[in-house]
Structure 1
Amino acid sequence: MTDRQDELEAQFTQWRHYVQRRRELRQSDADELEDHLRGSVDELVAAGLRPDEAFLVAVKRMGSLDDLSHEFAREHSERLWKQLVLTGDTDSSVTNTRSRRDLLAMAACAAGAAVSVKIPELFGLSFEEDGAFYGPNAGLFALPWLAAFLAWRRHATKALVGVLLALFALGAVAANVYPLADDSQSVVLTSIHLPIALWFVVGLAYVADDVRSSRRRMDFIRFTGEWFVYSVLIALGGGVLTAFMFGTFEAIGISPDTFLAQWLLPCGAAAAVVVAGWLVEAKQSVVENIAPVLTRLFTPLFTAALLAFLVTLGVTSAGIDVEREALILFDLLLVVVLGLLLYSISARDPLAPPALFDKLQLALVVSALLIDVLVLLEIAGRISEYGATPNKAAALGENIILLANLAWSAWLVLRLVRRRAPFAALEHWQTIYLPVFAVWAWIVVLAFPPLFNYF
């Protein structure tokens, strides 16, 4: 096969996977549609078009499948899909009806999240005095409502809804049944890892229309990045609103401290989790232009920062501090690097040839990999010398998981840059590795407290 034939087959595979996800189409229907598409492509190639151009034009010309092609283009952000497919008129009445339904569902779920934050106060728990309760339970106030909105929008089956409810119930049990002291390390670990574990439950709701699809998992990675961008924008707007409210009420002799601290901030933050998810779903075309730019901006900056850190470490021969705050900092740094890699993968044209940005990503991943190895050596040395604690054990496991991901990612990016492996191999590796992060987060939440005697 030539390179163009390989690219054409990759496009057929992408189309076939999308069509097979449509529940209204039987397998025989999908096969017939693909035969029709292949015939159209052959005719266009014979007329003088390149295979990739012929494929895109053939999809546009499929007539009765125009709505299906339109949805396919919306879920795949590649430029040519949008140019060639998103050009026809759409049924504005259907679109407006669906938008209104989504808006009402979002408003109901956002209100539910805001109310959930205040329910513990009915049992005498307050933000000021019961931080040991609100920390581990923070993810349980809003994330179930975001999952509910996504599951409703994806028409999740009753069986999957039952799984979602069971996982959120398990998270609630893990956050509240263990006899943990306020200063226990396990309280901090649960506060950090339970939201991560529950976010993957949200991911299960997001891929409810095709749980086993690697492409849908990559879509969830894209959703995560875009949700983060919108959440930051909402937080910035909320900060401005809070400042104006405080200043204007102070000017007339009324202090809004209690309202802001006990109502606006907690309820607004919980509702914003759902609103950001709705914005990603409803306004995807807006953030699609922002997030890839941010990725390309921060990738070279983080690469330069990591290289500078490695050079400084080598010149000074200073050891790495592996106390709790430093462990959290290094793990966050590695997670940010992985996040930049994942989001750039989700936004990349899978058929584009290797470019300078891919080489820059290779430098970023290799730098993070070296830092991960150094941190692992320090953690292993401290554990062998002073014994294991929940913090060090959790950091050890997380860095091993990140090491495996970054090491193989570096190898695949290297092969991609050298044109020895397709981009699909890197994308597939990241999608099959996602459950590893979810499983580890649940292990820390469920197994670590009793394993370390609730310390």
Structure 2
Amino acid sequence: MAEITKKQILDKEDNPQALEDLYRSDPVKFKVSLLSAAAQNPASKLFEFWRVRIEYEDPALPFSVVPIAAVMLIAAFFGLLVRIPETFLTETWYYPRFGPFFTLLSVATYFLYKNPNYKLSIGVAIFSILTSIYLILLPDWQSFNKPDWHSDSVTMALIHLPFTTLILLGICFVQRSWQDTKQRIAFVKFCGELLMLSTLILISGGVLTGLTVGFFELMNMDIVDWYMSNIGVIGIVSTPLVATYLYDSVLRRKMQIAVLLAKVFSPLFFIFVLTYIIMMMIHGNSPFVNREFLVGCNGLLILILSLIVFSIATRSRDSKIIITDYMNVLLVGATLLINTLALSAIIFRLVEYGLTPNRF
């Protein structure tokens, strides 16, 4: 590739298209030569425009960058909160109760450190204490005398607790801007990107774990139990916090992997939902009598709702209608059909079996 010289730029001063072509051919060399040409001809408005363009830097963001040291301290604190009590408590009792809770609470602490709010910090502390007391008093979800028995009520409580903590995380994320629609949408996008980044970190951590354990086994050293009980547990608990730091402080909230994947998979999920409905009618599967089938329908609704939300998260009112929008409308229509069926099944089961939890 021919080197871009100052003379070439000076000769093309009156040809904006030619300057654009030079820039696209080699931006780095173009920048050096352009700055030299602009210094030689300061009266040129076009050269001044190009100088401002290539020297432009993003203005300081309205939010601060959290130091990596603070992130490490938060990760260590909540990692030890999860790890230390396990030394004198059973794993099956402690981890399902406090593992997800402390994991999400560490992310909420990150945003409180970044944007200090005294009243909100007090509220989070009170919520944490009350929730911890509730979890301690919650009955065992598994019987030691009957290993195959599980309490459905306690299991449902443990399943819904992370969603309650997620609401607290959302409040810490938006804080005083909770009435701002853009901030609420930003939190939804954050949840999607947090899931994507956490998945990538966990995959990378799995590869690192495999290599570490494998190389130590070559020296006849079995470190699996020690590694998973210490490094593994703390690493898993710290994953969402590290993912939050990467998305918020390193990438400056500019990543859109979840949005992109949602747009890609929306047509595929529409085909899947349509096939699902047809096969359900052919084979006679009914959520009215099959509890597992009803649970599957509810899970499918949550997944499709997430896809639709992430697909439209970056859309504005002035955006042009594209094929993805039509696909989302079809997906919503198919989802409403399943939702109507599931809601009818829920009402039927409440009328038929009563308000008490049933397992039929």
Question: What TM-score range do you get, normalising by the shorter chain?
Answer: 0.7 to 0.9
Look up the SS of the partner of 2:67 in the other structure: helix
Taking a change above 3 Å as real, the CA distance of residues 282 and 360 of structure 1, as seen in their structure-2 partners, is same
Deviation for aligned residue 1:260: 3.0
Give the greater-gyration-radius structure (CA).
2
What pairs with 1:211-250 in structure 2 (closer than 5 Å)? 211-250=178-217
Task: Indicate the RMSD between aligned Cα atoms, in angstroms.
Answer: 2.8
Report if the CA contact (8 A) 1:132-1:187 is conserved: no
Taking a change above 3 Å as real, the CA distance of residues 86 and 109 of structure 1, as seen in their structure-2 partners, is farther
User: Structure 2: any 5+ residue segments left out of the alignment?
Assistant: 1-51, 143-149
Partner of 1:205: 172
Taking a change above 3 Å as real, the CA distance of residues 323 and 239 of structure 1, as seen in their structure-2 partners, is farther
Q: Distance in 1 between matches of 2:55 and 2:82?
A: 44
AA of the residue aligned to 1:110: A
Q: Distance in 2 between matches of 1:262 and 1:316?
A: 46
Partner of 2:107: 146
Taking a change above 3 Å as real, the CA distance of residues 322 and 135 of structure 1, as seen in their structure-2 partners, is farther
Taking a change above 3 Å as real, the CA distance of residues 110 and 86 of structure 1, as seen in their structure-2 partners, is farther
Q: TM-score, normalised by structure 1?
A: 0.60
Moved more, 157-166 or 217-226: 157-166
Moved more, 207-216 or 282-291: 282-291
Q: Distance in 2 between matches of 1:112 and 1:320?
A: 45
Look up the SS of the partner of 1:390 in the other structure: coil
Partner of 1:165: 125
Q: Distance in 2 between matches of 1:171 and 1:108?
A: 23
Partner of 2:79: 114
Look up the SS of the partner of 1:262 in the other structure: helix
Q: TM-score, normalised by structure 2?
A: 0.75
Partner of 2:8: none
Q: What does the per-residue CA deviation read over 1:337-381, in whole Å, with 9 as the maximum and x for residues that have no partner?
A: 111122222222342022221111111112112112222222333
Q: Distance in 2 between matches of 1:202 and 1:349?
A: 25
Q: Distance in 2 between matches of 1:313 and 1:229?
A: 31
Partner of 2:37: none
AA of the residue aligned to 2:77: G
Partner of 1:57: none
| Higher helix proportion (structure 1 or 2) | 1
Q: Distance in 1 between matches of 2:327 and 2:67?
A: 40
Counterpart of 1:309 (choices 273, 276, 300) is 276
Deviation for aligned residue 1:262: 0.9
Q: Distance in 2 between matches of 1:198 and 1:86?
A: 45
Report if the CA contact (8 A) 2:298-2:342 is conserved: no
- The structure, 1 or 2, with the larger RCO (C-alpha pairs under 8 Å, 6+ apart) is 1
Report if the CA contact (8 A) 2:270-2:330 is conserved: yes
Partner of 1:89: 57
User: Structure 1: any 5+ residue segments left out of the alignment?
Assistant: 1-83, 393-455
Partner of 1:126: 90
Q: Distance in 1 between matches of 2:110 and 2:235?
A: 17
Partner of 2:354: 387
Look up the SS of the partner of 1:352 in the other structure: coil
Q: What does the per-residue CA deviation read over 1:163-214, in whole Å, with 9 as the maximum and x for residues that have no partner?
A: 2222223322332223355221122112210011101101111012423222
Deviation for aligned residue 1:278: 0.9
Look up the SS of the partner of 1:187 in the other structure: helix
Taking a change above 3 Å as real, the CA distance of residues 384 and 105 of structure 1, as seen in their structure-2 partners, is same
Report if the CA contact (8 A) 2:139-2:154 is conserved: no
Q: Distance in 2 between matches of 1:87 and 1:362?
A: 43
Taking a change above 3 Å as real, the CA distance of residues 289 and 383 of structure 1, as seen in their structure-2 partners, is closer
AA of the residue aligned to 1:330: C
Taking a change above 3 Å as real, the CA distance of residues 285 and 210 of structure 1, as seen in their structure-2 partners, is closer
Q: What does the per-residue CA deviation read over 1:256-286, in whole Å, with 9 as the maximum and x for residues that have no partner?
A: 2212331122111111121111111024368
Q: Distance in 2 between matches of 1:268 and 1:158?
A: 29
Report if the CA contact (8 A) 2:286-2:293 is conserved: no
**Matched residue pairs, number?**
301
